[in-house]
A and B are shown apart, each in its own frame.
Chain A
């Protein structure tokens, strides 16, 4: 954030190129046009625009879904390969040292010259931690299954509460909101009931659904929508895509709203294509509940 004089201000053409680089990327011809400009000025302003774009991206990424466990494991393995290569291909990963490494976060920096066996531990621990928060496949914003028991290392955290237990705890809070679901006229809504418990302060919530038919995630998925009083009713907040497992009669699912919900007015569950949608056509609304 150094001070810049008038001579350092970009001209119109440079700004256009910089913004296009930040948003669309440049064609080879555009890149050549940028390359002939003052590199110091270009670099400084490009960094500023990239920071601005990244900040906007951050603002739009609140309550993001966790990294899928399998992908987290792949990333950790990749890190192992990367840092192992840096350390030297002839150095084997010290798995024994990795297993004996402390499970908690290390309080102090380890010397770079140390063995990179810790990266193997990182791979395992990331898997364990990610599995702790495992969402169902293709439904990253909701989870219905208990955490898997089989992880390659001893548990590093106590067993997490079930969604039902968390819902009960949230319900006990004085300022939590409870909204009862009712069925709609949609044929798929027959016999559906349930409720939503939402805590505005922590932006956490759970939905309980009874009687909703199990779905084939490859065909369609359920999606929760939150109508927020401060937002356009046409565009409710995405509350997460989820599945109903076979043989399930009652499920409790965490809500992971894509955006902050300031004043929830209603909650709705729709049937959507696999992966969900950004705007629902609302052809199949299978549960609906209004606050207050």
Chain B
């Protein structure tokens, strides 16, 4: 008997006017897993992430989150993005969305926002509690940057980082929100093979630290190396799911990626 999955999605549907971008999608992630979501361009993977993180409100379906060590499930459907993040789900973006005019460290410090409290009065009075909190934010952010290998660039502007480092900073920023489930939207997009290899190592490290990971990725080598399970989407529908070896030989997946076989 397996424990309840930390993320259980059932019948998730998203309509944009007459277009059904997601069609009754079911998906689950268990604690400690790395799950990949793959599919051709336009299959609805990013829409799926947007529904999950509250940027879109899904038309139908249910998203249930069960924090590890907790028997109660929370529905994420209709929650605002910031509340989803507070519940312990953090994401990165396919097109990098860093705060480019802020320093690398400040980007990570923003991630700590929902775990800290100081407000107007705290900011003006700068009392002991606020100073302690600021100190903690800085130390923690440095520790996270150290983990992704960016601590030496902490006070650079985010916009001045090389591409691969910006991708890693996005992961660091998401980690700073203290999630138990990390959603990575094409973390390896545009990376060179060496950067991808480093990313592979980083994701495994994050996973061993106790974060579950759900990632969208096109780099099949990375997906096959990382994932415990893979879900495949096409035209908003799930067409396959299983272990990497099963997916590799699944005819429906091959058809979706390579097109219809021409019958002789």
Answer whether A and B are interacting partners: no
> Which A residues contact B (CB, under 8 angstroms)?
none
